[in-house]
Amino acid sequence: MPVTRRREGNTGYVTLDNPPVNAIGRAERADLLEAVGWAEAERLDRVIVTGAGHAFAAGADAREFDGPPAEPHLPEVLDAIERSPVPWVAAINGVALGGGAEIAMACRMRVAAPQAQIGLPEVTLGVIPGAGGTQRLPRIVGLEKALEMITLGKPVSAAAAQAAGLVDDVDEDPLDAAFMINTEDMGCRVPVWELPPPPHDPAALAAARERLAARSPGQIAPLRAVDVIEEGLTRPFHEAMQSERAAFLALRQGDQARALRHIFFAERAAKAPSDLAAVPLPLDTVAVVGGGTMGAGIAYALLNAGLSVVLLETDAEGVARAGANIDKIVSASLKRGLIDEAGAEARRDRLTLTSDYAAAAKATLAIEAAFEAMEVKKQVLSALQAALPAEAVLATNTSYLDIDEMAAVLDDPARLVGLHFFAPAHIMKLLEIVRGAQTSDAALATGFALAKRLRKVPVLAGVCDGFIGNRILARYREAADTVFMDAATPWEVDEAMVAFGYAMGPYEAQDLSGLDIAHANRRRQDVTRDPARRYIPIADRMVELGKLGRKTGAGWYRYPGGGGKVEDPIVADLALEEAHLAGITRTEMTEAEIAERLVLAMINEGADILHEGIAQSARDIDLVTVFGYGFPRWRGGLMWHADRLGVAHVVQRLEALAAEDPVVWTPSPALLQCRDTGCALSDYRKA
């Protein structure tokens, strides 16, 4: 039964019971409506509505959004609750999100447990609240707070909800607290729809629109939410509700909402492959080698998940540096209120910093995050092999290097698995799990178990230069450099990609990570690079000039005084010089043409990665590009976007570009196969 009900004295208890998170689908809506009639027929004094398990309700069941809306619709159900002569009280026992929060707002009063979270995150699914959220919330918390909660979609804690007037009381036992409310107090409460809306405030609305233009460019839903909220400030409640419903339904079937739903469910479906039967090793103590930015981030992520960490460095100086790096993360987490002093202390207690590998003798997993050089990695793995139990899993965090070559130094190469974290490793959600030729199922299963423990999004990758993500990144940068050399400035390229939806373009991003890393990679790839492939030397010139990015105060941009970026004419001139030397006549490209080239280059590489079986599915590539590389989430990831463009169109555009440079632009066999069979990339499986 999706919604259960019972009578105790004159009180009715209605419980949303649709595990795991009480999402509200057709059956729950029908049951709730029935419960309204039941309470009235039973002449109850009140109804207390709550959720079974940990959640109150996670909102409308988003799995229903692909089909036509089915009656009864949630706004009608909530209208019935709100108008009922029997007052309803929400006992918010856990998360109350989207439609869940809207149910609570249709109640006469709300009591929350301290751990409850209340919010309207609909914009993160590309829609706006569709059951009164845009109209009731401003009436309860005022315009500014409602604008913030609805357009950013971030839930608030019970305490914050109480401070904002969204809940009347916070209590360890919200059911009991709801029962204790005086019936007369409840009877005096005016239903929310009858409250006057807050005054129309053009300045607050303009500020919200401005914030959104900067924060979520290209996204439709947050701005539509502001429009609908604004309508509600001057129009009668039920008229504004019609606008809300129309906007919700239109957005629900739009491309952005479909893309965001795809990513929402893909993230939750990212798990160990179903045919991986091996039992993962128990995780308690993990060794991490290297305390630089990456190693410290990994160590902190492990500590956050309650694991003990032995962080190994080469010498006392390295140990001190590693300790300082971890301290920095702990302090930042304290400052942001993510942990308290006791939490910081507990993390420090579980951390051992040492240069003595013997300290890692109890570890069941070791992750090396040492310097990115094959010889260094091999030495570290040999040392780990000597120090750890024979059954322990060894993992490398290499971004590019050949895992199979590394595994060859081990007596048992099956122990080695790639665990490719992304910086900052305690924040970024993606974890590429790389299966070498000999990686055992147990090592792989341990990698997936770790991802689960760290609440990361795991994606299985095969061995190749750069695995899934960095291999696509290399093509993205190559296409950017070619556009720079032939037609544009770095800032024009960056602006084109920001207009496409990235938070920053490829050049600004490189300035952040440092140009030296990519440079070292290019030198490593010199011996294997296809001589027929065009090589753009501008990035090498930058490194020769000492322009390594933010850390040297100048890269593709200048950063005077360590501040914001400034365009650098010297950099623009480098392209003119190199183009002249190469006998290239520079052309002009529009923003759309620039973005198209960079995106097509990535799609073509993604299709090759699928074709070679390096990625198991297009969905995995979507996860990698969204969670590791800043591809706009509302476009659903790289391959999802390719399918929206249409494979036939992608092939046609690539073929046109191939006339310019066949080595770079010849369409991938996977694309041709999809075009010929009419199959979408999302349905492509390596034959």
Helices 469-486, 569-581: crossing angle, 10 deg rounding: 80
Determine how many CB atoms are found less than 10 A away from the CB of residue 66: 11
Residue 79 in the binding site for ligand 3H9 (CB under 6 A): no
Instruction: Considering the complex, state which of residue 123 and residue 289 has its C-beta at the smaller distance from ligand 3H9.
Output: 123
* Coil, strand or helix at 170: strand
Residue of 82, 102, 486, 622 that binds ligand 3H9 (CB under 6 A): 102
Least separation, in Å, of the C-beta of 156 and ligand 3H9?
Answer: 13
Site for ligand 3H9 in 427-456 (CB under 6 A): none
Stretch that binds ligand 3H9, among 95-103, 383-391, 460-468, 579-587 (CB under 6 A): 95-103
Active site residue 184: no
Residue 240 in the binding site for ligand 3H9 (CB under 6 A): no
Residue of 62, 212, 463, 496 that binds ligand 3H9 (CB under 6 A): 62
Determine how many CB atoms are found less than 10 A away from the CB of residue 424: 16
Residue 222 in the binding site for ligand 3H9 (CB under 6 A): no
Least separation, in Å, of the C-beta of 615 and ligand 3H9?
Answer: 21
Instruction: Considering the complex, state which of residue 33 and residue 598 has its C-beta at the smaller distance from ligand 3H9.
Output: 33
Instruction: Considering the complex, state which of residue 139 and residue 377 has its C-beta at the smaller distance from ligand 3H9.
Output: 139
Going residue by residue from 21 to 50, which x/- string records binding to ligand 3H9, judged by CB under 6 A? x-x---------------------------
Residue 58 in the binding site for ligand 3H9 (CB under 6 A): yes
Instruction: Considering the complex, state which of residue 69 and residue 553 has its C-beta at the smaller distance from ligand 3H9.
Output: 69
Per-residue CA distances from 60 to 74, 319, 420, 504 (Å): 8, 50, 35, 33
Q: In what order do the strands lie in the sheet with 308-312?
A: 351-354, 308-312, 285-289, 365-368, 393-396, 416-420, 430-435, 457-462
Tally the residues of the chain: 687
Rounded Cα distance, 252 and 391, in Å: 50
Active site residue 148: no
Residue of 79, 122, 508, 605 that binds ligand 3H9 (CB under 6 A): 122
Stretch that binds ligand 3H9, among 53-61, 278-286, 354-362, 609-617 (CB under 6 A): 53-61
Instruction: Considering the complex, state which of residue 157 and residue 438 has its C-beta at the smaller distance from ligand 3H9.
Output: 157
Least separation, in Å, of the C-beta of 16 and ligand 3H9?
Answer: 12
Rounded Cα distance, 663 and 228, in Å: 50
Residue 104 in the binding site for ligand 3H9 (CB under 6 A): no
Least separation, in Å, of the C-beta of 94 and ligand 3H9?
Answer: 9
Task: Identify which of 420, 484, 477 has the alpha carbon closest to the alpha carbon of residue 602.
Answer: 477
Least separation, in Å, of the C-beta of 132 and ligand 3H9?
Answer: 8
Stretch that binds ligand 3H9, among 91-99, 306-314, 559-567, 584-592 (CB under 6 A): 91-99
Residue of 133, 436, 490, 667 that binds ligand 3H9 (CB under 6 A): 133
Q: In what order do the strands lie in the sheet with 169-170?
A: 3-8, 11-16, 46-51, 88-92, 109-112, 169-170
Instruction: Considering the complex, state which of residue 242 and residue 677 has its C-beta at the smaller distance from ligand 3H9.
Output: 242
Count interface residues toward ligand 3H9 (CB under 6 A).
26
Phi first, then psi, for residue 414 (nearest 5°) are -70, -15
Rounded Cα distance, 169 and 163, in Å: 10
Given a contact cutoff of 8 angstroms between Cβ atoms, the answer to whether 127 and 102 are in contact is no
Rounded Cα distance, 687 and 684, in Å: 9
Q: What angle do CA 517, 520, 522 make, to 5 degrees?
A: 110
Residue 130 in the binding site for ligand 3H9 (CB under 6 A): yes
Residue 63 in the binding site for ligand 3H9 (CB under 6 A): yes
Instruction: Considering the complex, state which of residue 80 and residue 473 has its C-beta at the smaller distance from ligand 3H9.
Output: 80
Catalytic residue among 122, 313, 478, 578: 122
Long-range contacts formed by 560-569: CB under 8 A, 24+ apart: 565/508, 565/511, 567/489, 567/491
Q: What angle do CA 415, 287, 399 make, to 5 degrees?
A: 65
Least separation, in Å, of the C-beta of 155 and ligand 3H9?
Answer: 8
Stretch that binds ligand 3H9, among 92-100, 307-315, 330-338, 483-491 (CB under 6 A): 92-100
* CA count, 13 A, side-chain hemisphere, 370: 20
Residue 650 in the binding site for ligand 3H9 (CB under 6 A): no
Instruction: Considering the complex, state which of residue 19 and residue 165 has its C-beta at the smaller distance from ligand 3H9.
Output: 19
Rounded Cα distance, 228 and 218, in Å: 18
Given a contact cutoff of 8 angstroms between Cβ atoms, the answer to whether 368 and 377 are in contact is yes
Q: Amino acid letter at 495?
A: E
Residue of 98, 138, 174, 636 that binds ligand 3H9 (CB under 6 A): 98
Residue 125 in the binding site for ligand 3H9 (CB under 6 A): yes
Instruction: Considering the complex, state which of residue 25 and residue 323 has its C-beta at the smaller distance from ligand 3H9.
Output: 25
CA 293 to chain centre: 21
Site for ligand 3H9 in 255-284 (CB under 6 A): 265, 268
Residue of 59, 198, 291, 628 that binds ligand 3H9 (CB under 6 A): 59
Helices 202-215, 221-234: crossing angle, 10 deg rounding: 170
Catalytic residue among 102, 313, 492, 605: 102
Phi first, then psi, for residue 89 (nearest 5°) are -125, 135
Going residue by residue from 5 to 24, which x/- string records binding to ligand 3H9, judged by CB under 6 A? ---------------xx-x-
Given a contact cutoff of 8 angstroms between Cβ atoms, the answer to whether 120 and 154 are in contact is no
Given a contact cutoff of 8 angstroms between Cβ atoms, the answer to whether 222 and 211 are in contact is no
Footprint on this chain of ligand 3H9 (rule: CB under 6 A) = 20-21, 23, 55, 58-63, 74, 95, 97-99, 102, 121-122, 124-125, 129-131, 133, 265, 268
By annotation, the residues acting in catalysis are 102, 122
